[in-house]
Amino acid sequence: MRLVRWILALALVAGAAGWWVTRPAALPDSYADLAPGDAEAGRVVFAAAGCASCHVAPEAEPGDTPVLAGGKRFDTRFGTFVAPNISPSSQGIGDWTDAELIHAIRAGVGRDGTHLYPSFPYTSYARSDPQDIADLVAHMRTLPPDPTESQPHDLGFPFNIRRSLGGWKLLYLSDDWVLAEAATPEIARGRTLVEALGHCAECHTPRNALGAPDLTAWMAGAENPGGDGRIPGIDPGTLDWSESQIANYLDSGFTPEFDTAGGDMVDVIANTARLSDQDRAAIAAYLKAIPAIE
């Protein structure tokens, strides 16, 4: 009987410890000290982050003033994720504070204090400058509101247990740069655009069994999470384009062989074409600076 009590006590302690360590991160007080968001600067962040590519309704065109009604579905081996409404309406982000939105984007924590699924690429946005995200939020508030209700994800057990994401975050959520040292300001800017805002690794880097990017194969290409084909590598060992060819592709969508971007890259090019020549050159410089994967 005493042994049973000890086992129960240990189980309770372990459960309490697990509940504690998997708790969502608290909203940082430092966000209150940020300068008010600059909506015009946020327009650049919005393009770099590709928000419209996922959050515009599937049948809609992104355009210059996209309606972020959500509804796009992402089929994965963990289940189906559905992009939510993030327009400035009561069904979207209209009732959220700026700090709550910045926290959600950088830490994957919802307004209600629950974990968000990493189908939303906060593992990349965690590396972003909070002021950039404040600017992004300011821009998002200028876009048209939409009353469409967000749809739930379709996930089976155990992936429907959000609390378990706390353990996943302990393993894989970090604000450390993958390219630890940026040799020039241009490469540093490219690092921000690629590793953080552009979240390029979410598609171009393979994932492990738990769905986290494999940093040892950074940008080396990956299976298409939708199950159709393979996403190419863009590390220097795989992509032999020059910096100018990369920058031109990000502007025009044309490869050096005069082929054109296809699939999801069509949306990516629509976003990178809105960036400045300097930003596209910075992305190219970064991609040539990362280690080649053999």
Q: What is the pLDDT of residues 270-294, one digit of tens each?
A: 999 999 999 999 999 999 999 998 7
Mean pLDDT (the chain) is: 90
- For every residue of 154-174, DSSP letters joined together read EE-TTTT-GGGHHHHHHHH--
- pLDDT, tens digit (0-9, with 9 covering 90-100), for 52-108: 999 998 877 656 688 999 999 998 888 999 999 999 999 999 999 999 999 999 999
Q: How far apart are CA 71 and CA 87, in angstroms?
A: 12
Mean pLDDT calculated for residue range 188-217:
95
Long-range contacts of 70-78 (CB under 8 A, 24+ apart): 70/148, 70/150, 70/151, 71/148, 71/151, 74/119, 74/225, 74/226, 75/225, 75/226, 75/227, 76/119, 76/211, 76/225, 76/226, 77/225, 78/155, 78/159, 78/211
Which one-letter amino acid corresponds to residue 233?
Answer: G
- The whole-number pLDDT of residue 251 equals 96
Query: What domains can be seen in the chain, in order of their start residue?
Result: 25-172 (1.10.760.10), 185-289 (1.10.760)
Please report the pLDDT score of residue 97 as a whole number.
96
Tokens 């979410």, residue?
202
Looking at the predicted structure, is the pLDDT value of residue 8 above 60? no
Q: Looking at residues 108-133, what average pLDDT do you find? A: 96
pLDDT attached to residue 138 = 98
Residues 6+ positions from 33 with CB-CB distance below 8 Å: none
pTM for this model (two decimals): 0.90
Pairing, β 154-155 against β 230-231: unpaired
Burial class (CB in 10 A: 0-12, 13-18, 19+), 285: buried
Q: List, for residues 147-183, the tens digit of each pLDDT value.
A: 999 999 999 998 888 989 999 999 999 999 999 999 9
Q: Is the pLDDT of residue 24 over 70?
A: yes
> Percent of the chain at pLDDT above 90?
75
Distance between CA atoms of residues 282 and 184, nearest Å = 10
225 has a pLDDT exceeding 80: no
Alpha-carbon torsion, ordered 215, 217, 219, 221, to 10 deg? -130
Asked if residue 27 has pLDDT above 90, the reply is no
pLDDT reading at 5 higher than 70: no
pLDDT of residue 46: 97
